[in-house]
Amino acid sequence: MRLLQDIGEFGLIRRIAKAEKISDKDVVVGIGDDTAVLKYKKNLYLLLTTDMLIEGVHFNKKATPFQIGWKALAVNISDIAAMGGIPKYGLVSLGLKKNTSLKFVDELYRGIKTIARKFDVKILGGDTVSSSKLVINISLTGEVEKKYLTLRKGAKIGDKIYVTGRLGGSISGKHLSFIPRVKEARYLVKNLHPTAMIDISDGLLSDLKRICEASNVGARIEQSKIPVSREAVSLQNALTGGEDFELLFTVSKKYNNLIKSAKFSITQIGEITKRGIILLDERNKNIHLKETGFDHFKL
Amino acid sequence: MRLLQDIGEFGLIRRIAKAEKISDKDVVVGIGDDTAVLKYKKNLYLLLTTDMLIEGVHFNKKATPFQIGWKALAVNISDIAAMGGIPKYGLVSLGLKKNTSLKFVDELYRGIKTIARKFDVKILGGDTVSSSKLVINISLTGEVEKKYLTLRKGAKIGDKIYVTGRLGGSISGKHLSFIPRVKEARYLVKNLHPTAMIDISDGLLSDLKRICEASNVGARIEQSKIPVSREAVSLQNALTGGEDFELLFTVSKKYNNLIKSAKFSITQIGEITKRGIILLDERNKNIHLKETGFDHFKL
pLDDT for position A16: 75
pLDDT for position A66: 97
Judge whether B152 and B211 are in contact, CB under 8 Å.
Answer: yes
Nearest C-alpha of chain B: how many angstroms from A86? 15
Please report residues of A whose CB lies closer than 8 A to that of B1.
Answer: 101-103
Judge whether A108 and A55 are in contact, CB under 8 Å.
Answer: no
CB contact under 8 A, B128 and A3: no
Residue B170: name the closest of B162, B179, B161 by CA.
Answer: B179
Which of B48, B131, B299 has its CB closest to that of A91?
B48
**CA atoms within 13 Å, Cβ hemisphere of B267:** 16
Which of A16, A57, A129 has its CB closest to that of B57?
A129
DSSP bridge pairs for B50: B139
What is the C-alpha to C-alpha distance for residues B73 and B90, in angstroms, rounded to an integer? Answer: 8
Judge whether B95 and A53 are in contact, CB under 8 Å.
Answer: no
Nearest C-alpha of chain A: how many angstroms from B100? 6
Decide the pairing of beta strands A277-280 and A286-287.
antiparallel
What separation in angstroms does the CA of A230 have from each of A207, A242, B49? 21, 15, 41
- B153-179 in b/e form (b: 16+ CB < 10 A) is bbbeeebbbbbbbbbbbbeeebbbebb
CB contact under 8 A, A135 and B139: no
Binned average pLDDT, 10 residues per bin, chain A of 299 residues: 84 74 86 92 95 92 94 97 98 93 94 97 92 95 98 98 94 91 98 97 93 96 94 87 94 92 96 93 80 65
Burial of A60 (0-12, 13-18, 19+ CB in 10 A): exposed
Residue A244: name the closest of A204, A296, A211 by CA.
Answer: A204
DSSP 3-state assignment of A287? strand
Q: What is the mean pLDDT of residues B262-286?
A: 93
Name the maximum alpha-carbon separation found in chain A. Answer: 59
What is the C-alpha to C-alpha distance for residues B228 and B179, in angstroms, rounded to an integer? Answer: 18
Minimum Cα–Cα distance from B11: chain A residue: A102
DSSP 3-state assignment of A65? helix
Q: What is the mean pLDDT of residues B149-174?
A: 95
Judge whether A192 and A263 are in contact, CB under 8 Å.
Answer: no
Name the maximum alpha-carbon separation found in chain B. Answer: 59
Judge whether B140 and B89 are in contact, CB under 8 Å.
Answer: yes
What is the C-alpha to C-alpha distance for residues B286 and B178, in angstroms, rounded to an integer? Answer: 32
What is the C-alpha to C-alpha distance for residues B55 and A270, in angstroms, rounded to an integer? Answer: 46
Model confidence over B198-224: pLDDT tens digits?
Answer: 999 999 999 999 999 999 999 999 999
Query: How confident is residue B19, by pLDDT bands cut at 50, 70 and 90?
Result: low
CB contact under 8 A, B98 and A123: no
Number of Cβ atoms within 10 Å of the Cβ of A288: 6
Minimum Cα–Cα distance from B30: chain A residue: A124
pLDDT for position B291: 61
pLDDT for position A299: 54
pLDDT for position A233: 86
What share of chain B in percent tops pLDDT 90? Answer: 71
Alpha helix segments (H runs only) across chain A: 4-19, 65-82, 102-118, 182-191, 204-215, 235-240
What is the C-alpha to C-alpha distance for residues A25 and A6, in angstroms, rounded to an integer? Answer: 36
CA torsion sign for B196, B199, B203, B206 is negative
Minimum Cα–Cα distance from A75: chain B residue: B127
Query: How confident is residue B271, by pLDDT bands cut at 50, 70 and 90?
Result: very high
CB contact under 8 A, B98 and A5: yes
Residue A92: name the closest of B47, B16, B75, B133 by CA.
Answer: B16
Query: How confident is residue B287, by pLDDT bands cut at 50, 70 and 90?
Result: confident
Alpha helix segments (H runs only) across chain B: 4-19, 65-82, 102-118, 182-191, 204-215, 235-240
CA B98 to chain centre: 32
Q: Strand (E) positions, A63-181?
A: 86-96, 122-130, 135-145, 160-164
Judge whether A128 and B9 are in contact, CB under 8 Å.
Answer: yes
What is the C-alpha to C-alpha distance for residues A256 and A258, in angstroms, rounded to an integer? Answer: 5
pLDDT surpassing 60 at residue B299? no
CA B171 to chain centre: 15
pLDDT for position A291: 61
What separation in angstroms does the CA of A22 have from each of A215, B80, B108? 20, 21, 19
Model confidence over B91-150: pLDDT tens digits?
Answer: 999 999 989 999 999 999 999 999 999 999 999 988 999 999 999 999 999 999 999 999
CB contact under 8 A, B36 and A95: no
Nearest C-alpha of chain B: how many angstroms from A19? 10
Residue count of chain B, please give it. 299
What separation in angstroms does the CA of B219 have from each of B56, B242, B281, B295? 34, 19, 14, 21
Look up the pTM and report it. Answer: 0.94
Nearest C-alpha of chain B: how many angstroms from A129? 6
Judge whether A152 and A242 are in contact, CB under 8 Å.
Answer: no
pLDDT for position B15: 78
CB contact under 8 A, B133 and A133: yes
Compute the mean pLDDT over every residue in chain B, rounded to the nearest whole number. Answer: 92
CB contact under 8 A, B96 and A4: yes
Query: How confident is residue B254, by pLDDT bands cut at 50, 70 and 90?
Result: very high
What is the C-alpha to C-alpha distance for residues B117 and A173, in angstroms, rounded to an integer? Answer: 43
Please report residues of A whose CB lies closer than 8 A to that of B102.
Answer: 1-4, 6-7, 15
Contacting residues for B42 by C-beta, under 8 A, at least 6 apart: none
pLDDT surpassing 80 at residue B155? yes
Judge whether A279 and A226 are in contact, CB under 8 Å.
Answer: no
Which of A3, A49, A122 has its CB closest to that of B100?
A3
What share of chain B in percent tops pLDDT 70? Answer: 95
Please report residues of A whose CB lies closer than 8 A to that of B201.
Answer: none
Nearest C-alpha of chain A: how many angstroms from B45? 12
pLDDT for position B20: 67
CB contact under 8 A, B132 and A19: no
Ordered by where they begin, the domains of chain A are 4-147 (3.30.1330.10), 151-287 (3.90.650.10)
Q: First CA to last CA across chain B, in angstroms? A: 17
Residue B202: name the closest of B31, B69, B58 by CA.
Answer: B58
